[in-house]
Amino acid sequence: MKAVLDILLEAVIAYVLVFVLYFLIFVRKKTKYDKNRVPVEFYYLVSLYKLNQKDINYKKFIYITAFINTFIIVITYIVVSKLLNKWILQLLVGMVIIVLLIIICYGILGRYYQKRGKKKNV
């Protein structure tokens, strides 16, 4: 039980630290919409889920992607560092986990924006 609590504490601390760094490096610069400097996540969701760019609150989208990207980084770190010992295996499993989490998390976000867009149009 103590090991689980230690892992959870480490995950929370890592989440806070990674989010602060992510915020300072990426989010502060991108809060204003600039057509030439839109993140890849924005184009990914708009093209895959056929969303209207004007229906998405850009500033809120940037903060949501910051939470999602931090979640992906921390979950990958915790799983890889606590379950695996060999660095080659850590690298391969880490890549697979990152791809799966990106697909799952941004899929949920895309469906959220789709449903919100349908409610707006009704």
Q: What is the pTM of this model?
A: 0.86
**How remote is the C-alpha of 116 from its chain's centroid?**
19
Give 10-residue mean pLDDT values along the chain (122 residues). Answer: 91 96 85 75 89 86 94 96 91 96 96 82 48
Residue 61: domain span? 2-121
Q: Tell me what pLDDT residue 98 has.
A: 97
Number of folded domains that form the chain: 1
Q: Tell me what pLDDT residue 38 has.
A: 80
- Please give the Cα distance from 75 to 61 (Å, whole number): 21
Is the Cα dihedral 39, 42, 44, 46 positive or negative? negative
